[in-house]
Amino acid sequence: MTRSRALLPMAAVAVSVLLTGGAAQADADVPLPSAIFRATHNSYSGGIDGARQSLTYQLDHGVRFIELDVHDNGYASARDYAVGHDSPGDQVDHSGNPASNLLRDWLGVIDSWSAQHPTAAPVVVMLDLKDNLTDNPSYAAGNLAALNRELTSAFGPRLLRAEDYPAGPPTVDTLRGRVLPLLSGDGKSRAEYKRDLGHNPAIAINAKGQVVEVHDSGAGVLWYWTGTYADGRVTWRRHGRYDTGQTPAVALNDNGDLVEVHQSQSATTLWYRVGRLDADGEITWSSSRQYDDGVQPTVAFTDPAGTRLREIHRSQSNSQNWTWDGVLDTGASAVSWTGNAKTSDPRFDKTTSVRGTARVHVWTGADGPTPAQTLRVDTDRFAGDRIRYPQTAFVEYQKGDSAELQQGALFYGAPATESAFIVAARQAGRLVRGWDFDSASRATTPPANYPATNHPYDAWYENLLTQSGAVQ
């Protein structure tokens, strides 16, 4: 194989790094993207297909990048993800590591070590998603909101959230004792973490700042987001699938009671559901009930107590609007509908909701390279935010990924053989992982920030990382 011009012999790498101040990194307060760190590939595998030893041993010996492969199989029963390569438990070395495959146990090891070493350089914990988490219909089933919760529960104040990463690169010293979570693996999950897609969005806000958004998938599936409004921003907390249908609308009162209406997926029947929003942002839904025929339903509460409703929809056969009056019975999780009649009133604007000075408006539109059906939200103070999970974790961009995964990405990743990709990313100021870094011949100039190896204690690796000024 012809060596790329970016690949240099080990001695040349050492000279080059020394000339750029690399050897001084261990003692200098360098910007994070300029630093080099020891890293392992498939860190959970210990002595299986490599020589890594336990997570604690790795951390004790300077490794600052830990990779855990993660599966969602069995989440609904275990209420946790599982560590393993091709399946839960596959290639997992339990010697010196947790006896279980549960992700929270493995994260607990890293957290305990981090708590005991507050001056250590920041540790990146990469979760390589081996399964598609976008088909998990709720938090309880292990969607990406549950994964966020796992990270925040495990690391607490030590966690450096992606959304809190400063505009100017922080130095290594300012991040000592911190943990940086990183998502890799399944591309659909990484994309949905950064944005959501939908059709026909509708939104409601109440006086407490609770927000509920509903939309359809464009293929007959209904989804919701819940969040809280504060200081002009909506923080989205829970996301889930709740029914089949299209063109949904929603009304929300100050007690957290909500009424949702929608058209059936393949017919012109109209249906409603009652829901209850709890303090965690989860919705408990009633069963779906048909109340009429028609299309494009809208609904709103009409009294301060939030018990009386009005629904307006269009006829399925012409442009005539029809209306219903309703009374919400929270005990029965049902609405009593009366007074069905034609109306000249327009349908409610289901895309906008106002409560006091707070205003929220939902729409769909591309955000740079994202698709045209990207869900967006405007408020009285900010415009164009994406409706998406809190950006707790960083999202890795890999060679061949879509432009939307590259947009704004700080972390890049590629096999260690992809020297041109690694060099270009480093030169662009990114944090770069090169995995299967199992030979000194794979070193580049500049080197990957995280040369992730299966053999971290081999002399060639130790020498190379020492010469590169690896930070501990």
For helices 187-194 and 144-155, give the axis angle rounded to 10 degrees. Answer: 80
Rounding to the nearest 10 degrees, give the CA dihedral for residues 422, 423, 429, 434.
20
Same domain, 37 and 55: yes
Same domain, 181 and 261: no
User: pLDDT, tens digit, for every residue of 159-208?
Assistant: 999 999 999 999 999 999 999 999 999 999 999 999 999 999 999 999 99
User: pLDDT, tens digit, for every residue of 41-93?
Assistant: 999 999 999 999 999 999 999 999 999 999 998 898 999 999 999 999 999 99
Same domain, 278 and 237: yes
User: pLDDT, tens digit, for every residue of 335-356?
Assistant: 999 999 999 999 999 999 999 9
**pLDDT of the residue at 6:** 34
Same domain, 245 and 204: yes
Does residue 27 have a pLDDT over 60?
A: no
Tally the C-alpha atoms within 13 A of residue 432's C-alpha that lie toward its C-beta: 26
Residues spanned by the domain of 85: 33-191+391-468
Cα distance between residue 358 and residue 379, in whole Å: 7
Does residue 328 have a pLDDT over 70?
A: yes
Domain-ending residue, one of 346, 369, 386:
386
Domain assignment present for 16: no
Instruction: Provide DSSP, 311-366.
Output: EEEE-SSSS-EEEEEEEEETTTTEEEEEEEEEE-SPPP-TTEEEETTEEEEEEE--
Domain assignment present for 207: yes
Same domain, 135 and 249: no
Domain assignment present for 80: yes
User: pLDDT, tens digit, for every residue of 256-311?
Assistant: 999 999 999 999 999 999 999 999 999 999 999 999 999 999 999 999 999 999 99
Same domain, 203 and 156: no
Domain assignment present for 415: yes
Same domain, 180 and 63: yes
Does residue 397 have a pLDDT over 50?
A: yes
User: pLDDT, tens digit, for every residue of 198-238?
Assistant: 999 999 999 999 999 999 999 999 999 999 999 999 999 99
**pLDDT of the residue at 28:** 52
CB neighbours of residue 125 within 10 Å: 23
Q: What is the DSSP letter of 192?
A: H
Same domain, 378 and 450: no
| Among 254, 191, 248, CA closest to 225 | 248
Helix (H/G/I), strand (E/B), else coil: 419: helix
> pLDDT class for 125, splitting at 50, 70, 90?
very high
**pLDDT of the residue at 8:** 33
Give mean pLDDT, residues 316-327. 98
Same domain, 177 and 202: no
Give mean pLDDT, residues 319-344. 98
Domain assignment present for 322: yes
Give mean pLDDT, residues 109-137. 97
Domain assignment present for 5: no
Does residue 7 have a pLDDT over 50?
A: no
Domain-ending residue, one of 356, 386, 416:
386
Q: Which CATH number belongs to the domain containing residue 452 in this structure?
A: 3.20.20.190
What CA–CA distances, in Å, run from 277 to 165, 206, 293?
Answer: 31, 11, 28
Instruction: Provide DSSP, 240-263.
Output: EEEEE-EEEEEEE-TTSEEEEEEE
Give mean pLDDT, residues 95-122. 98
What is the bridge-based pairing of β-strands 394-395 and 397-398? unpaired
Same domain, 203 and 187: no
> pLDDT class for 29, splitting at 50, 70, 90?
confident
> pLDDT class for 449, splitting at 50, 70, 90?
very high
pLDDT: is 67 or 18 the higher one? 67
Domain assignment present for 361: yes
- How many structural domains compose the chain? 2
Does residue 22 have a pLDDT over 90?
A: no
Share of the chain above pLDDT 90, in %: 93
Domain assignment present for 9: no
Domain-ending residue, one of 386, 404, 439:
386
Same domain, 158 and 283: no
Same domain, 98 and 244: no
